[in-house]
Amino acid sequence: MIVTKLDQLFEILRSKTKKRLVAAFANDAHTIEAVSMAIDMGIVDGVLVGDEATIKKVCAEHKIDPSKFRIVQEADEMKAATKAVELINKGEGDVLMKGLVSSDKYMRAILNKETGLMPPKAILTHVTVVQVPTYHKLLIVGDVAIIPAPDLAQKIAITEYIIKVAHSLGIDNPKVALLAATEQMSAGMPACVDAAIISKMADRGQIKGATIDGPLALDVAIDPESAQIKKVSGGVAGDADCILFPNIESGNVFFKTCTKLAKGELGAMVMGAKVPCVLTSRGDSVQSKMYSIALAANAAK
């Protein structure tokens, strides 16, 4: 089954073994509600690491039964993130989730060389699956939140991660667009040069499991009419499943435009660690957190 809508993830997960989710500093209503809903849907078991009194107070305010969670007491924000990572390393969780903890402390816990979740030489990156009413399928994009200006090696890693996510969504041969400001090859534009190298690597079989092309401008990547007018052919133009952004600014602006102006929905997670890590904004909706939980649970081993 190819997943074309984020809601379909819930149906798929109900037929799989439930994953164990550990939420770091889960003191906020959005996190608790999202984990509670995921438990009720039968897609995860939930562990909340945070201040037990605060968690139970939030549960009471939102009429949530706290007994459905395993609650691990830790009132300090940084210590709660570290404790959540420790539980994963002990084999007591399959997915990590960010609660009220700030992103920098959450990432610090994951990246800690002694107690974190990083395999040797791994590259940590953020993968987002965007559902926009004006596009006929999901878009899998990266990186919009972690790597500011990825070099060639990092772009190759991001490309491989977004391909892996596409495969987890049932897309056997995803079409990957390597984005630049133009589809013309410009040696003076680093995004074009990197895209051309990665595209040629794919042609030579050094990157497998996808059809990859670039450089491509955004309009050519996702709009068949633009591709036809500009006479850009190939297996990706006008029908991309995945987009590799040249830098964090372009990626971040894209996904926020999709959600805030185009009424899109998204699920997002961090890849490269030992387990998928849910990383949403503290201000994101419960729905976005639900989709992110489902995306990570679907990708978890």
* Euclidean distance between CA atoms 45 and 120, whole angstroms: 29
* Euclidean distance between CA atoms 202 and 219, whole angstroms: 22
Cα of 97 vs its chain's centroid, Å: 12
* Euclidean distance between CA atoms 32 and 52, whole angstroms: 12
Dump the DSSP string for 147-205. -SS--HHHHHHHHHHHHHHHHHTT-SS-EEEEE-S-SS--TT-HHHHHHHHHHHHHHTT
Q: Are 136 and 250 in the same domain?
A: yes
- Which token pair is 243? 């987009």
Establish if 289 belongs to a structural domain: no
Establish if 38 belongs to a structural domain: yes
Residue-level pLDDT at 86: 97
Closest CA to 288 of 24, 86, 33: 33
What sign does the dihedral 147-149-154-160 (CA atoms) show? positive
* Euclidean distance between CA atoms 159 and 243, whole angstroms: 8
* Euclidean distance between CA atoms 158 and 178, whole angstroms: 11
Residue-level pLDDT at 283: 61
Q: Are 163 and 250 in the same domain?
A: yes
Asked which of 102, 120, 138 is the last residue of a domain, the reply is 120
CA-CA distances (angstroms) from residue 54 to 30, 60, 73, 83?
A: 13, 10, 10, 17
Q: Give the number of other Cβ atoms within 10 Å of residue 29's Cβ.
A: 15
Q: Are 174 and 145 in the same domain?
A: yes
The region, left, alpha or beta by phi > 0 then psi within -120 to 50, assigned to residue 248 is alpha
Stretch among 37-46, 212-221, 261-270, 274-283 having the lowest mean pLDDT: 274-283
Q: Are 135 and 106 in the same domain?
A: no
User: Tell me, what CATH number does 27's domain have?
Assistant: 3.40.718.10
| Domain range for 170 | 125-260
Stretch among 90-99, 156-165, 257-266 having the lowest mean pLDDT: 257-266
pLDDT band at 287 (very low <50, low <70, confident <90, very high): confident
- H-run or E-run covering 140: strand 139-142
pLDDT tens digits, 197-252: 999 999 999 999 999 999 999 999 999 999 999 999 989 999 999 999 999 999 99
Contact criterion met (CB below 8 Å) for 120 and 140: no
Residue-level pLDDT at 51: 97
pLDDT tens digits, 119-167: 988 999 999 999 999 999 999 999 998 999 999 999 999 999 999 999 9
* Euclidean distance between CA atoms 214 and 196, whole angstroms: 6
Q: Are 141 and 191 in the same domain?
A: yes
**Structural domain total, the chain:** 2
- Strands 139-142 and 125-131, how do they pair? antiparallel
Residue-level pLDDT at 193: 97
Dump the DSSP string for 217-231. -HHHHH-HHHHHHTT
pLDDT tens digits, 21-77: 999 999 999 899 999 999 999 999 999 999 999 999 999 999 999 999 999 999 999
pLDDT band at 282 (very low <50, low <70, confident <90, very high): low
Q: Are 178 and 248 in the same domain?
A: yes
Establish if 236 belongs to a structural domain: yes
pLDDT of 280 strictly over 80:
no
Asked which of 81, 104, 120 is the last residue of a domain, the reply is 120
Asked which of 100, 120, 140 is the last residue of a domain, the reply is 120
Q: What are phi and psi of 4, to 5 degrees?
A: -115, -10
Residue-level pLDDT at 295: 95
Q: Are 141 and 77 in the same domain?
A: no
Establish if 268 belongs to a structural domain: no
